[in-house]
Structure 1
Amino acid sequence: MPSCYLISYPTVSPLLAGPLLTVDAAELGLQAESSIAAYVSSGIVLLLVATAVALLSRRLGVPYVTGLVLAGLAITDFLPQSIGLDSSLILNLFLPILLFEAAINTDISRLRSTVKPIVLLAGPGVLVAAGVTATILRFGLRLDWIPALLLGTILAITDTVSVIAVFKEITVPSRLITIVEGESLFNDGVALVLFNLILLSHLTGSVSFPEGLQQMVVVIAGGTLVGLALGYLSAGLLARSDDNLSSILLTVALALGAYQVGHWLEVSGVVAVVVAGLMVGNVGLSRRVSASNRVTLYSFWEYAGFGVNTFIFLLVGLELKAVAFWQTLPAVLLAVLAYQVGRLLAVYPLLALVRRVDRPVPLRWQHVLFLGNIKGSLSMALALSLPLTISGRSNLIAIVFGTVLFSLVVQGLSLPWIVKRMRLGVASPARQQTETLRAQLIAAKAAQDELESMLRTGVLPKSIYEEMRSMYQVQVARAERALRDLYDRWAVEVTTGQRDPAGLDAIRKRLLLVEKGALSEALRRGIVSETGAKERLQQIDEKILLLEED
């Protein structure tokens, strides 16, 4: 018999066996209960700390996520139960929730208008940043190529939560927000696929460039198909459901399930979640879904994303050790320099190419995209998931953790000040007034549409419907009259040389995109010939390129 099965048991009287086992089980139960109670107490402490950070960050002007990390560093020794950052928890639970929340709130038409810079940054941009970072670290820290490439890929991931948090407090152009959000949606997926390919090369010995490229395409395309299929099925179910709670459960199951199905089929679960979220947000939550159901879903996912980010960055602070940071400071500073050089060579040259095929991305926007290269929880999760066979694994983890701490504190605190100094979103009084009136008009029109639906379904009697509709009609008339006056003033200002003071270029572009979509659909169905539509499509493209969105 093998030695591993040779287990000796003490001789116990049959009369004592039952009571002894009962006592042992009771002790185990008490230990488990005390452990759960300690975790609950730690969770309560974290919630209270997060609330205090939220209040103080607004008053002090500190980014919320940076405040959370600093708070986590400060309270590590005061928690009743040690809580660690688990890579499996982040990758399988937190990451799908964050990706789905971002995707469900993303308008595909906005993505389509900025698809070229987004694709360049999230595709070749990740490869360039990872390659440059890995090369610098390979020779600067004298690492082997596999650890250097893994470290470069981990540091090529940009945590966009901090940047978006800054944008929520400072007015910036909507197109810049779209580029940042769009890159964040697909940046993680490409980086994770590249990370897994490097690990595969480590395990198998070698993977050629054509094989790696083929696997990357297959994994991303497979994840897209999984997301489309699951998103389409869920969109149909949402359109048939009027129960808010059931819709919430369905979207949660979709977010977590799409990631697991993608992982089970050995394709990109991240891409599957993103595509499924885009399908639900742009197809599932259409006008066929009641307004109350849409509001409930959006509110739930906003809270879910906020809650997950809160716990992630608190856990990041709990996991980071200030003492270890100072011990690895030279390597951390080199890593910071390396990923900044990689990001620089990814942003400026690639976005310079956009000028030839699309509207140019202004240089000040490129500065924000470069300086907003902040690292976060996903980088730490990938570092913790490194296999034990990687040489110098503990040193790599320490470097990543120190880099994340430096990035969140130094870059996170300086980014709001830099964005304010650039004065990216200084809107004219006419533009601000126009946006306010548009918001009033959109809200009143949406309420009128809902009243029409309530009258048609018998929820409201006609007398009450007419009374409430007339109230909203007064708001609509006032907003339309004020907008008309502003547009008349805008027409005069344009003749004096001012460019789009009332912000109509975004509306013109949206209408042109609708025209282009209708022509493309007509071509697909064979209603018009290619020669008949080609000239008009070219005219639309030229007009779109001439327009400058706000």
Structure 2
Amino acid sequence: MTFFLAAISGEQSNASQLVTVLIILLLVATAVALVSRRLRIPYVTGLVVAGLLMAELLPRRIGLDSALILNLFLPILLFEAAINTDISRLRSTLKPVALLSGPGVIIASGVTSVILKFGLGLPWVSALLVGVILAITDTVSVIAVFKEVTVPSRLITIVEGESLFNDGIALVLFSLILKVNTTGSLTVADSIRELLVVILGGGLVGLALGYLGVGLYTRSDDSLSNILLTVAIALGSFQLSQFFGMSGVVAVVVAGLVVGNLERSQTVSASSRITVLSFWEYAGFGVNTFIFLLIGIEINLETLLRTLPAVLLAVFAYQAGRFLSVYPLLAIVKRVDRNLPLRWQHVLFFGNIKGSLSMALALSLPPTLPNREALIALVFGSVLLSLVGQGVSLPWLVRRLNLDHTSESQQWIEALQSQLITAKAAQDELETLLKTGVLPKSVYEEMRASYQVRLVAAERSLRDFYNRRPDKLTAASGRMTRLDAIRRRLLLAEKDALNDSLRKRILSDDVVRSRIQTLDQQLLDLDDD
């Protein structure tokens, strides 16, 4: 009995310490948010620095758990990013995203591995593993920087799209290298076959669970039930794919894209949609807060100082790999797609910031791997220098490149567009309330009329602006690209309609192919923002 009471007392003591640690972390995160906003530094960089400073103040030692990050935190972050990604925007950047997240990861990993192999004398397996780990770009850090300064939306789409698939390719390569290390050999044909099976299999699992989830989602207007459903889809798709030896990352990304985009076309109330998206925004923010604080706590400054020369070589290596993957591949893009400005390429190159996934993969290295602890220290040091150095200097670079310039006319147009979007959304919600009997018709008509006044005023102002003569419009705005985003969506809608007509055998293949070529050329001629 005494032993039992002592055990309970010990568990209560551990629980109280854990609660104390969580309270400290939340207070520190709040303080960092306030200070980083005042100092105009990225929030995640401030969290890492705060973790470094507070490591000795905690009542117990805590650290990153690779299994927790890979099985819980990673699916949450991936699903949150995917559910907020517009496929129509992603589709317009498909070629640069595919090149950067596919061949780009392979090139960056290979260059980094070769430099580390001959620069540090690492075995090939160790060098390849570290090369793949350092080829992963942490989009959370880059997007956090983009929240500090305004950048073109298409550039943000490229960064988000690359990260969605970058992680999946890197994790598959990581598992293949570990398999080679375990079995001793793996042919090129077997590697390609396994790569395709893992990626395609994960995509199919994500599609199946995504479509199933949308079917259940649209049948319920209960926000809390829909939140639980999306959590089950995110975690379930990851675990199911991992169980069958497929890519859990690809499955989560595909499931998130399906749920986020198909749900918009279904009859789901605005309040339920906003509640679900807000939950995922909070979940992603909370997970990132704890991860980046724990990164700072996990890094040992004494070990970092001892390995600083090797860490600096690793930073040079992954930047060299990124350089040789970004500029040559994006030079190819301009032959088959719209050219990406050189200033955007500079941001994509220098925004090669490392983060939590790299550290999680380093911690998951097998214990039998030679010099495992040295490799972990090498990755941790590289992540720290990346978060602090590139994280702080990237906003300055973006400002120097004048990517954050927004003209007064553009701000005026967007203000009017925001009035149109919000008034239309409110009227749609009023229609739903009227049809369900929540709102009497007299109240509905009165409230709808108030929104209609705002709509008419905004539409009149926009019509007058767009009906000006081209020379006056150019003088007012500086360029004739205000409607490009809308034109692009209309052209993509035309392509979808043509493809649907072809599937239904309404139009012949020759007619559809000719018309699609014309539409593709029109898309290429558009200058995106």
TM over 0.5: yes
- Offset at residue 109 of structure 1 (A): 0.6
Assess if the C-alpha contact under 8 Å between 1:430 and 1:486 holds in 2: no
Measure the CA separation in 2 of the matches of 1:516 and 1:276: 24
Which is greater in Rg?
A: 1
Q: 1:237 to 1:391 in 2, by over 3 A?
A: same
Measure the CA separation in 1 of the matches of 2:358 and 2:72: 15
Identify the residue that residue 48 of structure 1 maps to in structure 2: 27
Assess if the C-alpha contact under 8 Å between 2:413 and 2:462 holds in 1: yes
Matched, 1:31 2:31: no
Matched, 1:89 2:68: yes
Q: 1:497 to 1:55 in 2, by over 3 A?
A: closer
Assess if the C-alpha contact under 8 Å between 2:40 and 2:148 holds in 1: no
1:524 to 503, 523, 526: 503
Secondary structure of the 2:218 match is helix
- Offset at residue 40 of structure 1 (A): 0.6
Assess if the C-alpha contact under 8 Å between 1:490 and 1:500 holds in 2: no
Identify the residue that residue 304 of structure 1 maps to in structure 2: 283
Identify the residue that residue 136 of structure 2 maps to in structure 1: 157
Identify the residue that residue 78 of structure 1 maps to in structure 2: 57
Secondary structure of the 2:265 match is coil
- Offset at residue 389 of structure 1 (A): 1.2
Alignment of 1:256-405 (within 5 A): 256-405=235-384
2:520 to 538, 541, 544: 541
Sequence identity, in percent?
A: 64
Identify the residue that residue 17 of structure 1 maps to in structure 2: none
Assess if the C-alpha contact under 8 Å between 2:202 and 2:246 holds in 1: yes
Identify the residue that residue 48 of structure 2 maps to in structure 1: 69
Assess if the C-alpha contact under 8 Å between 2:398 and 2:404 holds in 1: no
1:238-260 alpha-carbon deviations (Å, 9 max, x no partner): 01011110000010111111110
Measure the CA separation in 2 of the matches of 1:96 and 1:315: 18
Measure the CA separation in 2 of the matches of 1:249 and 1:369: 36
Alignment of 1:74-153 (within 5 A): 74-153=53-132
Assess if the C-alpha contact under 8 Å between 1:223 and 1:269 holds in 2: yes
- Offset at residue 531 of structure 1 (A): 1.9
TM-score (norm 1): 0.95
Measure the CA separation in 2 of the matches of 1:504 and 1:58: 34
Q: 1:148 to 1:421 in 2, by over 3 A?
A: same
1:457-484 alpha-carbon deviations (Å, 9 max, x no partner): 2111110001000110111011111212
1:280-337 alpha-carbon deviations (Å, 9 max, x no partner): 0011343311111100001000000000000000000110111111110000000000
Measure the CA separation in 2 of the matches of 1:525 and 1:255: 34
2:488 to 481, 505, 509: 509
- Offset at residue 502 of structure 1 (A): 6.3
Measure the CA separation in 1 of the matches of 2:482 and 2:301: 48
- Offset at residue 488 of structure 1 (A): 2.8
Query: Which is further off, 75-84 or 398-407?
Result: 75-84
Identify the residue that residue 488 of structure 1 maps to in structure 2: 467
Identify the residue that residue 19 of structure 1 maps to in structure 2: none
Q: 1:464 to 1:103 in 2, by over 3 A?
A: same
Identify the residue that residue 172 of structure 1 maps to in structure 2: 151
Measure the CA separation in 2 of the matches of 1:497 and 1:463: 43
Measure the CA separation in 2 of the matches of 1:491 and 1:58: 41
1:352-374 alpha-carbon deviations (Å, 9 max, x no partner): 11111110111110100000000
Measure the CA separation in 2 of the matches of 1:486 and 1:322: 58
Measure the CA separation in 2 of the matches of 1:254 and 1:222: 16
Letter in 1 for 2:41: V
Q: 1:446 to 1:497 in 2, by over 3 A?
A: closer
1:479 to 454, 458, 467: 458
Structure 2: gaps spanning 5 or more residues: none
- Offset at residue 237 of structure 1 (A): 0.2
Measure the CA separation in 2 of the matches of 1:504 and 1:195: 44
Identify the residue that residue 469 of structure 1 maps to in structure 2: 448
2:413 to 434, 440, 443: 434
Measure the CA separation in 2 of the matches of 1:156 and 1:533: 40
2:427 to 439, 448, 470: 448
Assess if the C-alpha contact under 8 Å between 2:63 and 2:297 holds in 1: yes
Identify the residue that residue 423 of structure 1 maps to in structure 2: 402
Measure the CA separation in 1 of the matches of 2:4 and 2:282: 40
Query: Which is further off, 534-543 or 268-277?
Result: 534-543
Letter in 1 for 2:360: A
Letter in 1 for 2:352: N
Letter in 2 for 1:390: L
Letter in 2 for 1:410: G
Measure the CA separation in 1 of the matches of 2:358 and 2:78: 15
Query: Which is further off, 334-343 or 284-293?
Result: 284-293
Letter in 1 for 2:494: E
Letter in 1 for 2:193: Q
Task: Give the count of matched residue pairs.
Answer: 529
Measure the CA separation in 2 of the matches of 1:313 and 1:532: 54
Letter in 2 for 1:514: A
Alignment of 1:205-284 (within 5 A): 205-284=184-263
- Offset at residue 39 of structure 1 (A): 0.6
Q: 1:494 to 1:536 in 2, by over 3 A?
A: farther
1:185-223 alpha-carbon deviations (Å, 9 max, x no partner): 010000000000000000000111221111111100000
Query: RMSD of aligned C-alpha atoms?
Result: 1.2
- Offset at residue 69 of structure 1 (A): 0.2
Measure the CA separation in 2 of the matches of 1:269 and 1:424: 35
Query: Which is further off, 504-513 or 304-313?
Result: 504-513
